[in-house]
């Protein structure tokens, strides 16, 4: 169960980072193509996208550190019969 949670967290975190990079690329292209594009809007969008990626990274580290402790198997009852 924990391995599935870690895989899911890793995939979502990688996706969040890719979305941030794509967003930064789009904002850069907008700034180049449209010179009157306000820089404050671009910076605000980049900051918001970066905060979203950092939130997913924090969640990923929480999932990784929250691994359940190993629980010993219960003793066999009646000699395993």
Walk along the chain (81 residues) and give the pLDDT tens digit of each residue: 667 877 888 888 888 888 888 988 988 888 889 888 888 888 888 888 888 888 888 888 887 777 665 666 667 666 655
pLDDT of residue 50: 85
Q: How many residues does the chain have?
A: 81
DSSP secondary structure letter of residue 24: H
Question: How is the chain split into domains, by residue range?
Answer: 2-64
pLDDT of residue 31: 85
Helices 39-65 and 2-33 cross at an angle (nearest 10°) of: 170
pLDDT of residue 79: 61
Tally the C-alpha atoms within 13 A of residue 4's C-alpha that lie toward its C-beta.
1
The answer to whether the predicted template modeling score (pTM) of the entire model surpasses 0.85 is: no
């Amino acid at each position: 169960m924990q391995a599935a949670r870690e895989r899911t967290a890793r995939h979502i975190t990688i996706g969040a980072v890719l979305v941030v990079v794509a967003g930064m690329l789009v904002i850069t292209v907008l700034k180049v193509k449209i010179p009157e594009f306000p820089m404050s809007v671009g910076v605000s969008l980049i900051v918001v996208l970066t905060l979203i990626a950092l939130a997913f990274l924090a969640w990923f580290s929480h999932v990784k550190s929250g691994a359940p402790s190993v629980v010993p198997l219960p003793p066999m009852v009646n000699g395993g019969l």
